[in-house]
Amino acid sequence: MARVLAVDWGHVTLGLAVSDDLRITAQGLTSLRRVSEGKDLEVIGKYVRDLEVESVVVGLPKNMDGSLGPSAEAAQSFARLLERALAIPVHLWDERLTTLSAERALLDARMRRRERRAIVDQVAATMILQDFLDFRRAAAERGDG
């Protein structure tokens, strides 16, 4: 099996995480400061090639009522760009409250504010990917996919 890469999309930073080869666990990779769409796609493409990634999951920041706001629409647009640029499947995954959960986990770990800011998007990407992997594995076990 090949790996899955997750992207926690944000206006300022992108958090990245990758699965293991068996698609059981997610590990944080990095948080990237956004430069431009072209440069962002180039950097993600390098990770995809170097890590032999087969598909990508992009966090979809839905509103609490399930509707899509401007950030969700921007994440969808970015996912479409990724799919065209990388020529591999790109999935959108509901990430409501993921960044908040990541922030709380880092607070519980007594991490300083500066340290939290540096990795919160990476931790959020790891949570998005782990949720996606767990859902897909449970679906496969039920025979749904």
3-state DSSP assignment of residue 6: strand
Residue 135 has pLDDT above 60, yes or no: yes
Stretch 77-102: mean pLDDT, rounded?
Answer: 86
Share of the chain above pLDDT 90, in %: 57
Contact between 122 and 31 under an 8 Å Cβ cutoff? The reply is yes
Residue 82 has pLDDT above 80, yes or no: yes
Give the model's pLDDT for residue 97: 62
For residue 18, the enclosing domain spans 3-142
43-78 residue pLDDT tens: 999 999 999 999 999 999 887 787 888 889 999 999
Range of weakest confidence among 4-13, 70-79, 121-130: 121-130
Predicted model pTM? 0.84
Q: At what angle do helices 37-50 and 70-86 cross, to 10 degrees?
A: 50
Stretch 120-126: mean pLDDT, rounded?
Answer: 84
In this prediction, residue 1 has a pLDDT band, given cuts at 50, 70 and 90, of: low
Provide the pairing of β-strand 13-19 with 3-8: antiparallel
CATH code where residue 30 lies: 3.30.420.140
19-33 residue pLDDT tens: 999 999 999 999 999
Q: Considering its fold, how many domains does the chain have in total?
A: 1
Residue 41 has pLDDT above 60, yes or no: yes
